[in-house]
Amino acid sequence: MEKFLTNSCKTYRLETIVISNPETSYSREKSYVRTAEVYDLGKENNYFKYQILIVDFNFSDDDNAMGKLIKQISYLFDELILTIDEEGNIISVENLLFLQLRWTKIQTDLLKLHQGNVVENYFNQINMVLENEPSLIEFLQEYNMFGLLFNGLWNSFEERRIRKTKKEYVEIMTPEKKGGKIIQIISAENLEQSDVTYFRGINIFSKNNLVESFIEIKKHQYHLKHSLLWIG
C-alpha cells in the first residue's frame, strides 16, 4: 500500500461553510477555515500514525461572543496523534489523556467569562465526547473536522468504495481516470431515510496523493460545504 503522505509533512487547507436558512431573505453564511500540518509518524502493527497540528484558524464570526467561544474551544483539537487503518478510519486517539487534561484547563478558563445554560450544555457535550473514545473518533471523522483528510489512505483509488459512517444513508465513492489523475465521485444512497435532501462530493488524487476534496450536503434548514486543498 502507498500512503498518501509520502513526505514527512504535508499542509492542507480545511474549510467548512455553513449557510443557514438558505434561499430566504435572511440567509446567513459562516466560514470556518483551518490550516493543518499533517506529519507521518510511520507504520506500526499494520496501522499508520499521524500527528495533526492546526497552525492557523480563520473563522468568519469570531467578532461576536459565540464565535469567539467556538474558536477558543477549537484550540482543544489543534494537536492530535491518531492511529489510522488502511481504509482511512481512525482507530485510536493516542493523546486522549492530553486532550482531557487540556480541556479541563480550557473549560475552567472559559467558565470565568461565559455563563448560562447554553454554554453549560455545550461544555457537557464536549465532556461526554472526551470521556468516550469511540464518540471522540466519530466526532473527529465528521467532515467539519478531519473526515476529508484520510480518504487518501485507501489501499486502492481505482475501486468503488463504501465509506463507513453511522448516518442513515450510505456514501458511495466511484473512481474515474482523467489523465494522470484519479477522481472519486461521491454520492449517497438511502437519503430518504435521513433529513439530507442533497449529497454530492469529489476527491481528486494525483500520484496517489489526495490534492483536493469537496463535499456538499443540503438539509432543509441549512447547507454545508466542506473542502480540502493540499497547499504544500
Handedness of CA 50, 62, 14, 229 (dihedral sign): negative
SS3 122: helix
Q: Is-contact 167 194, C-beta < 8 A? A: yes
SS3 193: helix
Flag whether pLDDT at 156 surpasses 70.
no
Query: What pLDDT score was predicted for residue 3?
Result: 44
> What confidence tens digit (pLDDT) does each residue in 165-178 have?
778 888 998 989 88
Query: What pLDDT score was predicted for residue 68?
Result: 82
Q: Is residue 180 part of a domain?
A: no
Tell me the C-alpha distance between 68 and 136, whole Å: 23
CB contact set of 23 (below 8 Å; sequence gap of 6+): none
Q: Is residue 13 part of a domain?
A: yes
Q: Is residue 18 part of a domain?
A: yes
Q: Is residue 203 part of a domain?
A: no
Query: What pLDDT score was predicted for residue 12?
Result: 97
Give me the phi and psi of 211, to 5 degrees please.
-110, -25
Least confident span in 5-14, 16-25, 87-96, 112-121 = 5-14
Q: Is residue 206 part of a domain?
A: no
> What confidence tens digit (pLDDT) does each residue in 48-75 have?
999 999 999 999 876 777 778 888 899 9
Flag whether pLDDT at 209 surpasses 60.
yes
Range of the domain at 131: 9-155+211-230
The residue that leads in pLDDT, 228 or 114, is: 228
**Strands 47-59, 79-84: pairing kind:** antiparallel
> What confidence tens digit (pLDDT) does each residue in 122-153 have?
999 999 999 999 999 999 999 999 999 987 55
For the chain, the domain total comes to: 1
SS3 204: strand
Mean of pLDDT values over 194-217:
92
Query: What pLDDT score was predicted for residue 153?
Result: 56
Q: Is-contact 99 73, C-beta < 8 A? A: no
The one-letter amino acid code at 147 reads: G
The conformation of residue 191, written as its DSSP 8-state character, comes to G
Grid cell listed for 202: 469529489
SS3 66: helix
Residue 53, beta-bridge partner list = 37, 79
Query: What pLDDT score was predicted for residue 6?
Result: 46
Q: Is residue 98 part of a domain?
A: yes
Closest to 37 in 3D by CA, of 7, 15, 58, 10: 10
- Mean pLDDT value across the chain: 89
Q: Is residue 173 part of a domain?
A: no
Mean of pLDDT values over 33-44:
92
The residue that leads in pLDDT, 39 or 44, is: 39
The conformation of residue 219, written as its DSSP 8-state character, comes to E
Closest to 144 in 3D by CA, of 232, 213, 53, 64: 213
Grid cell 472519486 in the structure block, residue? 184
Query: What pLDDT score was predicted for residue 2?
Result: 41
Tell me the C-alpha distance between 100 and 78, whole Å: 13
Q: Is residue 83 part of a domain?
A: yes
Radius of gyration of the chain (CA): 18
Mean of pLDDT values over 87-92:
90
